[in-house]
Amino acid sequence: MTVYQFYKRATAALVVCSLAACSSGPSGRSTAPIVARAPVVAPGTVLPQPDGRGDLVRPRALWTPAQYTDLPGWSQDRVSESWPALWQSCQRPGPGWATVCAEVRELGVAWGRQVADDFVRQWLEGHLRPWRLNTLDGQTTGLLTGYFEPLLDARRKPDARFQYPLYRAPADLGVRKPHYTRAELDTLPEARASVAGREVVYLADPLDALLIQVQGSGRVRVQDELTAQGQPRTVRLAFAGHNDQPYQSVARWLVDQGAFTLEQASWPAIRTWAVQNPQRVPEMLRANPRMVFFKEEALLDPQVGPVGAQGVPLIPGRSVAVDREAVPLGTPMWLDSTVPQPWSPTPPAPQSLQRLVVAQDTGGAIIGGVRADYFWGWGDEALAQAGRTKQAMSAWVLWPR
């Protein structure tokens, strides 16, 4: 089981997924070089075996034969931008991908940037066959949500502003199961002793601490550690475990408290409530008993995201999380959806989101035959887009011929 199956995905709003109980957590990040290796298939895994004779059934999806002309917008996407994601996945090829991935690795990670999109498209068409994703009962429309990597300011030592710690895993985390709840870690002396001295960084806002815990990883700019250029050093905090307590959505708790309606729930609404009710913020946070712990990693390449469930770095706009019982990790997918827009009394005309992505991640609430979670990247814009993403979606998988 990957760590992404534990805890993550409420996105920026803690609403799109937190109200839907979308929670898991990023897999542990490895800074070691990624090398090609033989795939490991979990016992009982059912793999598709396309042979052109009819539909294919997976545990949570039905694949039906398709043509590239069936893919809306196929000729318009800049498919070369997806090549680095495919190349990364081919460093850990799954069953059925050995021949295709050998050629991908031989061409190299930069190949897609060196040739025209039409040439990459022709290569894909020659090597991969499209199959439409359906639910087991034949539905072709599903749900697209979004997630991101928080980018926050932090300090190593607490001060009057930075007072909210993120912790390394307690020494007894693997022994005491479940470990102390969030409320117990705040109040019980023996629980507090288990995390004493294990602070990684301190944040300035308790809701930021909740956000990075829900997402399961993030980047922090350490204000009291400067680079040679005099800038705060940016590091990644990777998921290192949790306390085995159940996840409870604070957005749902606020709805139940009458703070706002389900339709009004949003990250700004949560923050507004917190500003208006500062004395109740600890009560709100303790409504979620789950606590997530972190480990620090160097940010070796600031242009890529955290490592996903497949064991490769996520690429903004080209990596998605899927249900691996519907789509094997490492599989290219064609998405047909719309770009999320900010709320407006006069909504603009929908903009198409039609692009090639690669299934490189999983999530505890990402379940079903036509389901994907879109990685937007990091920073404020990614936060905003992830929080808005809850779109209808159709999808196809591209599988070796």
Total of domains in the chain? 1
Of 162, 227, 170, 161, nearest to 193 by C-alpha is 170
42 in a domain, yes or no?
A: no
124 in a domain, yes or no?
A: no
299, 236 Cβ separation under 8 angstroms: yes
Q: What CATH code is carried by the domain that includes residue 163? A: 2.40.240.50
80 in a domain, yes or no?
A: no
- pLDDT given for residue 1 in this prediction: 33
- pLDDT given for residue 81 in this prediction: 97
- pLDDT given for residue 16 in this prediction: 43
pTM for this predicted structure: 0.78
Q: Please state, in angstroms and as integers, the Cα–Cα distance from residue 146 to each residue in 32, 111, 220, 323, 357, following that order.
A: 27, 28, 21, 14, 13
pLDDT, tens digit only, all 401 positions of the chain: 333 333 344 343 345 444 443 434 443 322 222 233 333 333 334 456 544 547 888 899 999 999 999 999 999 999 999 999 999 999 999 999 999 999 999 999 999 999 999 999 999 999 999 999 999 999 999 999 999 999 999 999 999 999 999 999 999 998 999 999 999 999 999 999 999 999 999 999 999 999 999 888 899 999 999 999 999 999 999 989 999 999 999 999 999 999 999 888 877 889 999 999 999 999 999 999 999 999 999 888 888 898 899 999 999 999 999 999 999 999 999 999 999 887 777 777 889 999 999 999 998 779 999 999 999 999 888 988 988 898 999 999 999 99
- pLDDT given for residue 243 in this prediction: 96
If you count them, how many residues does the chain have? Answer: 401
- pLDDT given for residue 277 in this prediction: 97
- pLDDT given for residue 158 in this prediction: 97
- Pairwise CA distance, residues 313 & 28, whole Å: 11
93 in a domain, yes or no?
A: no
197 in a domain, yes or no?
A: yes
265 in a domain, yes or no?
A: yes
70 in a domain, yes or no?
A: no
95 in a domain, yes or no?
A: no
Tokens of 46: 């059912």
- Pairwise CA distance, residues 397 & 348, whole Å: 30
**What residue numbers bound the domain in which 298 lies?**
1-28+139-341+350-392
- pLDDT given for residue 19 in this prediction: 45
